[in-house]
Amino acid sequence: MDNQKHLLFLFIICLANIVSCKKVGCEQTNTVDKNLGNTYLDSSNNVWTPKENGHVIFKNKAGAEIQFVVSHASFIDKNLLFSNNAFNAELCERAGYVYSNEEQVQIGFQSLTMTIKFRMDRIKRIPYPLSDTTTIEMLRKYPEKILLRTIDEVATFYIQDSEMYFIGDTLLNDSIYSSVYRINFNGDKSTKCFYLKKNMGLIAVAFTNGEIFSRK
């Protein structure tokens, strides 16, 4: 009898405060994200990732050629920055993320005849982890970097520190290129380094077997 009285008491309390009862067992919980705003790349850095679409040929010293399909894309990506602690359990909300919609540039090189592909991703150089004092103005002031990707490794080119990579006039196979930048890969895998030039982007690739393929 006591148990029945206890259950009846709980039932009456629940009816009297039915809204609160529903809050305890939220059938659907909304994740609360917060958008700081849009972050765009600095147009002055377009010289490192010039727009290019179509076919290009890279050639080694012996005359062997690799033909690539080149693609250029600029898009907006949702970048999760840090946890969002502003949520309300009473409204069936749970914590999500603070994020920014950030512009990115991507250039792809895909061989037509071999399993060789490269990619260059130009993005903001954001110093993770961030804190809840981060503002959109801070994000927009961060410098940029380019992630140089092969099939099996990644190297980073820090645009703000570009003079670190500058090697000047360089002989690549039978051609001399002026004002060249070299970015080394350190994984001892397939690729030794990339050679870049402003307004041309990728001009040559050196493989760990000693071969250098440069633009024809």
Average of per-residue pLDDT values in the chain = 89
Distance CA 145, CA 156 (A): 7
Distance CA 203, CA 181 (A): 10
Nearest to residue 131, comparing CAs of 83, 94, 78, 87? 83
Q: Is the pLDDT of residue 7 over 50?
A: no
pLDDT band of 28, cuts 50, 70, 90? confident
Nearest to residue 187, comparing CAs of 165, 208, 162? 208
pLDDT band of 26, cuts 50, 70, 90? confident
Taking the C-alpha atoms of 135, 137, 142 and 145 in order, what is their torsion angle to the nearest 10 degrees? Answer: 90
Write out pLDDT tens, residues 150-159: 999 999 999 9
Write out pLDDT tens, residues 159-213: 999 999 999 999 999 899 999 999 999 988 999 999 999 999 999 999 999 999 9
Write out pLDDT tens, residues 80-139: 999 988 777 788 988 899 999 999 999 999 999 999 999 999 999 999 989 889 999 999
Q: Are strands 30-39 and 93-111 parallel, antiparallel or unpaired?
A: parallel
* Rounded percentage of the chain residues whose pLDDT exceeds 90: 74
Record the tokens describing residue 111, joined without a space: 């061989």
